Amino acid sequence: MPAKGDHDARRRDVSAAVWRVLAAHGFDGLTLRAVAAEMGSSTGLLTHYFPNKKALVAHALDLAEERTLQSRLTPSGQGLAAVRELIADVLPISAVAIEMNRVWVSSWDASLADADLGERETRRYERFRTQRLRPFVEQARELGELPADADVDDVATTLIAFAHGLVVQVLFDPERYPAARQLALLDGFLTALSV
C-alpha cells in the first residue's frame, strides 16, 4: 500500500493533468482516456480517483473553483471603483484569465445537463453576486455613485451578465477585444449605470 504522501502526490499529479486537459480541450474533451494520456498512464489508475465521468467533471469543477479562489483579488477601492476591480478580474485580459474563462465557459454545458452540477454552479454564481459584488454595489449607492433608487441585486446581476457576455465575445473574437478595449467597455458600462 502506498504511503499517504505518495497518494497525495499522485492526486496532485492527477489534478494537474486534469487541468491541462481542461485548458487545452475544455470539458467536452475531458475524459479518463485524455487525462491518462496526459499523464502517460493507464485509465485504470484514474478509476481509483474517478469511478465515472461525473466524478471527473465534479473534480474538474472543484479545480476551477479552487484556482479561481486562489487568484481572486481583494478590491483596493470602494464603491464603483471596487466593482470595477472585481469585474475586471473576471474579464479575459491576461493569458491566465483567458485560460480560466475558457475552462468556465466550457463547463456550462455539463452543468446545464446535470442537476447536481447545475446546482453547484447556481450556488457559485449566487456567492459571487451576493458576497463579492453586492456589498460594493450597495456602497456605491450609499456614496451617490449609483441612483438612490437603484436595486442593488438587479445591478449585481446586470454586472455579471455584462461580464459574461463580454467574456464570450472575447473568447470568440480576441483580436477585436484586446484588454484595453475590454476595460474601456467596462468603464462605459459603469458610467451608464451611474446615470
Q: How many Å apart are CA 131 and CA 53, to the nearest integer?
A: 31
90 and 48 share a domain? no
Indicate the helix (H) or strand (E) that contains 10: helix 4-25
Mean pLDDT, range 29-42, rounded to an integer: 91
67 belongs to a structural domain: no
Residue 55: band (very low, low, confident or very high) from pLDDT cuts 50, 70, 90: confident
Burial 4-17 (b: 16+ CB within 10 A, else e): eeeeeebeeebbeb
84 and 118 share a domain? yes
Mean pLDDT, range 84-89, rounded to an integer: 96
Q: Is the pLDDT score of 65 beyond 90?
A: no
pLDDT of residue 60: 85
Q: Percentage of the chain with pLDDT > 70? A: 97
User: Domain holding 46: CATH number?
Assistant: 1.10.10.60
Q: Is the pLDDT score of 16 beyond 80?
A: yes
5 and 30 share a domain? yes
180 and 87 share a domain? yes
pLDDT of residue 44: 87
Residue 128 near residue 67 (C-beta atoms within 8 A): no
147 belongs to a structural domain: yes
91 and 175 share a domain? yes
84 and 46 share a domain? no
User: Domain holding 155: CATH number?
Assistant: 1.10.357.10
169 and 122 share a domain? yes
Cell matching residue 145? 455613485
- What's the structural domain count of the chain? 2
Amino acid identity of 183? L
**Full-model pTM:** 0.84
Amino acid identity of 27? F
65 belongs to a structural domain: no
Domain that holds residue 6: 1-59
96 and 174 share a domain? yes
Residue 19: band (very low, low, confident or very high) from pLDDT cuts 50, 70, 90: confident
Q: What are 97-134's pLDDT values in tens digits?
A: 998 899 889 889 889 998 999 999 999 999 999 999 99
